[in-house]
Amino acid sequence: MAGGPDLRIRTKQLALRIIRLVTDLPQTDVGRVTGNQLLRSGTSVGANYREGTRARSPAEFVSKLQISLQEIEETSYWLELLAEGGIVLEAKLTSLVTEVGEVTAMLVASINTTKKRAGLQ
């Protein structure tokens, strides 16, 4: 199935970056709540992708990747709130936001490729 080791590595690296970011957030109510949400969604991307690599069928693989896609979209949302809410300087998040966009594109491409190859369109 589509995807490959690069996406496996990048989703894990993304999770590690999210963990480091959340660790550095201010210990305020907003920092904790936003951080918890970001931590949950940001680490879930790779976990669901990894589950998908063990899928029993192309349809199951696509389903897991679609969950990863939902989680990365949520991750993007929390990063936007951190920046726009003034909790973290936007410049500090630039490379992480770029990586989220690239991983999103890779997930979409993997989903589309698998659907096409398996006739799931």
Question: In which domain, by residue range, is 13 found?
Answer: 5-118
**Based on the number of CB atoms within 10 Å of its own CB, is 21 exposed (0-12), middle (13-18) or buried (19 or more)?**
buried
Number of domains in the chain: 1
Find the CATH number of the domain harbouring 93.
Answer: 1.20.1440.60
Residue 32 CB contacts under 8 Å (≥ 6 apart), including other chains: 25
* pTM for the predicted model, two decimal places: 0.93
Q: Give 49-103 pLDDT, tens digit per residue.
A: 999 999 999 999 999 999 999 999 999 999 999 999 999 999 999 999 999 999 9
Distance CA 106, CA 39 (A): 21
